[in-house]
């Protein structure tokens, strides 16, 4: 069975279901080289807190022991398990966006290249990306796991569902794990296309009329 078939949203998820979703998504991200080595973290809203990957775990090789239940103060509710150092960023996004049930943070190579070059992906180059993202802004650099990073990044989620983090990586949230993963895949491909157009002399951008027409399709 294709992995994505297991990512579809149910009416209710058990802790076991959510852990399995996180593990399967991590594996898929690993296979696509979106989350090399120990980079990144994945979470799911659960009861009055969240399930999140543990500190030092590798998304592409997750096991049940690499998933920990925390409250929304960041406190581990499972003895001996330490949540990801980026836990407060996930918590802030869940508080800010009640529609988010899943969050994926990775260091996908093409997206991270733009983040490390200090360049956003706001230019309207492809219709699909305008439709699904509107744009992908760049959050100012702050030390990973710091509250400054939380503040710099979370403020963009008033308007956007995905953000580049300067000299760091990419984060996306959604109602379903399937949608969060597919938006990651779409964004990484988009970053590669934009990079390729620079080799070819630069992309031909959509004009404001064309962009507005695409955005109007959302409604």
What is the CATH number for 119?
Answer: 3.40.225.10
Q: Residue 6: what pLDDT?
A: 56
Whether the pLDDT of residue 12 is over 80: the answer is no
Q: Residue 3: what pLDDT?
A: 58
Contact 144, 88 (CB under 8 A): no
* Residue 34 counted as domain residue: yes
* Percent over 70 (pLDDT), the chain: 95
Contact 151, 166 (CB under 8 A): no
Residue 86 catalytic? yes
Whether the pLDDT of residue 65 is over 90: the answer is yes
Number of structural domains found in the chain: 1
**Taking all residues of the chain, what is their mean pLDDT, rounded to a whole number?**
94
Written as six digits, the tokens of 38 are: 């120990």
* Residue 192 counted as domain residue: yes
How does residue 187 score in pLDDT terms, banded at 50, 70 and 90?
A: very high
* Residue 39 counted as domain residue: yes
* Residue 161 counted as domain residue: yes
How does residue 1 score in pLDDT terms, banded at 50, 70 and 90?
A: very low
* Residue 20 counted as domain residue: yes
Write the CB contacts of 198 (distance below 8 Å, at least 6 apart in sequence).
Answer: none
pTM: 0.94
Exposed e or buried b per residue across 120-152, where buried means at least 16 C-beta atoms within 10 angstroms of its C-beta:
bbebbbbeebbebbbbbbbbebbeeeeeebbeb
* Residue 2 counted as domain residue: no
126-164 pLDDT tens trace: 999 999 999 999 999 999 999 999 999 999 999 999 999
Q: Residue 5: what pLDDT?
A: 56
How far is it, in rounded angstroms, from Cα 110 to Cα 192? 6
* Residue 179 counted as domain residue: yes
Q: Domain range holding 58?
A: 10-216
Helix axes 177-199, 109-116, angle to 10 degrees: 60
* Residue 3 counted as domain residue: no
Q: Residue 218: what pLDDT?
A: 85
Q: Residue 192: what pLDDT?
A: 97
- Of 86, 92, 178, 188, the active-site residue reads 86
Sheet (strand 162-165) strand order: 67-71, 49-53, 41-46, 102-106, 169-174, 162-165, 138-139
């Amino acid at each position: 069975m294709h992995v994505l078939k297991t990512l579809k949203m149910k009416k209710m998820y058990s802790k076991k279901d959510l852990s399995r979703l996180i593990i399967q998504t991590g594996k898929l991200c690993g296979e696509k080289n979106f989350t090399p080595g120990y980079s990144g973290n994945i979470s799911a809203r659960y009861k009055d807190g969240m399930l999140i990957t543990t500190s030092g775990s590798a998304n592409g090789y997750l096991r049940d022991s690499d998933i920990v239940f925390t409250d929304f103060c960041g406190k581990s509710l499972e003895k001996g398990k330490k949540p990801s150092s980026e836990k407060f960023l996930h918590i802030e996004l869940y508080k800010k966006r009640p529609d988010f049930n899943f969050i994926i943070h990775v260091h996908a190579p093409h997206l991270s290249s733009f983040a490390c070059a200090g360049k956003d992906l706001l230019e309207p180059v492809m219709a699909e990306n305008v439709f699904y993202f509107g744009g992908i802004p760049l959050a100012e650099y702050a030390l990973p796991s710091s509250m400054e990073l939380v503040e710099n990044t979370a403020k963009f989620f008033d308007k956007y569902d995905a953000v580049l983090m300067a000299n760091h990586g990419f984060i996306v949230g959604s109602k379903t794990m399937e949608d969060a993963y597919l938006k990651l895949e779409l964004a990484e491909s988009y970053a590669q296309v934009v990079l390729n157009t620079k080799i070819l002399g630069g992309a031909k951008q959509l004009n404001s009329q064309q962009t507005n027409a695409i955005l109007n399709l959302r409604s």
